[in-house]
Amino acid sequence: MKREIVVVGSINLDLVASSSRIPLAGETVAGSTFRTFPGGKGANQAVAAARLGRAVTILGKLGNDVFSVELRDSLEQAGVETGPVENVADSSGVALINTDAKGENAITVVPGANSHLSPVDIDANSELLHRAGIVLTQLEVPIETVEHLASFTRREGIPLMLDPAPARPLSPVLLSCVDWLTPNETETCVLLGRAERNLSQSELEDAANALLQRGCKNVILKLGRRGCYLALADGTRRAVPAHQVSTVDTTAAGDAFNGAFAVGLLSGRDPVNSAEWACAVATLSVTRHGAQPSMPTANELEDFLEAQSIGSKP
Ligand code: ATP
Ligand code: RIB
């Protein structure tokens, strides 16, 4: 069995301003701290999987600025292979993030170098993709690149996990190439062309079925502090709860989940068990600040789960 994870996606520097609440349009609020963290959905998922001990390679683009050095270092320190990541004549991707006292966030992403990842890069890295036990991608790189990747992985029989974030409608052809679709509630509503809101349990079940009908093989709805809901090709329907923790920063919780879920599958866990494990990894990530620095190692996860099980004993 092929054991490597290949991530095709974005690499950003996150510029994070914390304040008691996120400003409304036209409003200025006083912030309490400003920090920078390595981020980007692709890079975060790669780091999440590598910290859990998997071999991970990322295919993406960095700019020719000082940020690019820190961003590559962060990936490599986590053990991610960055050989296929080229520097291009542009700024590195950046994300302007506001976080509030409850750990919620609002993000503006400026893609910069990420927008240079093209279908040609997919073809040029076909050998790398053939080594993958699973390929992870998201929507912070050009949609034509994601579509080209998806038709490549489908043709070659390589499992593909698509995190449809940031939210946007997707073509039926793309959805039909996806083995694991992992939207949050907002992304689910946008994919289905429905009004954005919190979904009740029956609405979640209906939404997951509607996404399956659009052609993707398996759907995992990510539901923040409620955990996740699985709707699988074999008919399994299962809600998996998250652990209750004190939330510091939810940025990249979804990325922690995707990286961990892929590791779970490649380690031989079944999808439900992989989702339980990924929920634990993602929950631990929300107890820490920042995107990549919040991803736990396998040892940290073990300690967390042990503490949780001791805490839950009567
Ligand atoms: P993001 O865009 O912030 O990276 P997301 O919106 O894609 O995340 P979420 O559903 O918010 O995804 O989070 C993914 C997973 O993280 C959840 O399924 C859950 O397991 C865990 N999680 C998120 N928020 C919390 C929380 N407040 N408490 C416990 N677990 C959480
Ligand atoms: O998913 C979280 C990520 O989204 C952040 O790290 C930020 O870079 C944005 O891309």
pLDDT digits (tens, 9 = 90+) for 240-249: 999 999 999 9
* 201-213 helix and 185-192 helix, angle to the nearest 10 degrees: 50
Would you say residue 312 has pLDDT above 60? no
What is the whole-number distance in angstroms between the Cα of residue 189 and the centre of ligand 2? 20
Which pLDDT belongs to residue 195? 87
Which pLDDT belongs to residue 86? 98
Which pLDDT belongs to residue 225? 95
Q: Which residues of 60-74 are buried (b: 16+ CB within 10 A; e: fewer)?
A: bbbbebebbeebbeb
Asked whether 95 lines ligand 2 (CB < 6 A), one says yes
Q: Mean pLDDT for the chain?
A: 95
Return the best residue to mutate from 37, 105, 283 for the ligand 1 pocket (most ligand atoms within 8 A of CB): 283
Q: Which residues line ligand 1 (CB under 6 A)?
A: 165, 184, 222-225, 227-228, 242, 245, 247, 250-255, 257, 279, 282-283, 286
Asked whether 138 lines ligand 2 (CB < 6 A), one says no
> Which ligand neighbours the alpha carbon of 138 most closely?
2
User: Which residues belong to the active site?
Assistant: 255
Would you say residue 270 has pLDDT above 50? yes
Where residue 314 falls among pLDDT bands split at 50, 70, 90? very low
What is the C-alpha to C-alpha distance for residues 111 and 11, in angstroms, rounded to an integer? Answer: 9
Sequence-distant (6+) residues with CB within 8 A of 132 are: 2, 4, 5, 6, 158
Least confident of 103-107, 224-228, 279-283, 302-306: 103-107
Its pTM surpasses 0.85? yes
Residue whose CA is closest, atom 7 of ligand 2? 40
Pick the CATH number of 4-11+40-91+112-308 from 3.40.1190.20, 1.20.120.160, 3.40.640.10, 3.40.80.10: 3.40.1190.20
Which pLDDT belongs to residue 311? 57
Q: Which atom of ligand 2 is nearest to the CA of 107?
A: 9
Residue with tokens 């490649």: 266
Residue with tokens 């080594």: 131
As a dihedral over the C-alpha atoms of residue 259, residue 229, residue 300, residue 255, rounded to 10 degrees, the angle is 30
> Which ligand neighbours the alpha carbon of 40 most closely?
2
Where residue 197 falls among pLDDT bands split at 50, 70, 90? confident
Q: Which residues pair with 5 in a beta bridge?
A: 56, 134
The DSSP output letter for 176 is T
Which pLDDT belongs to residue 308? 84
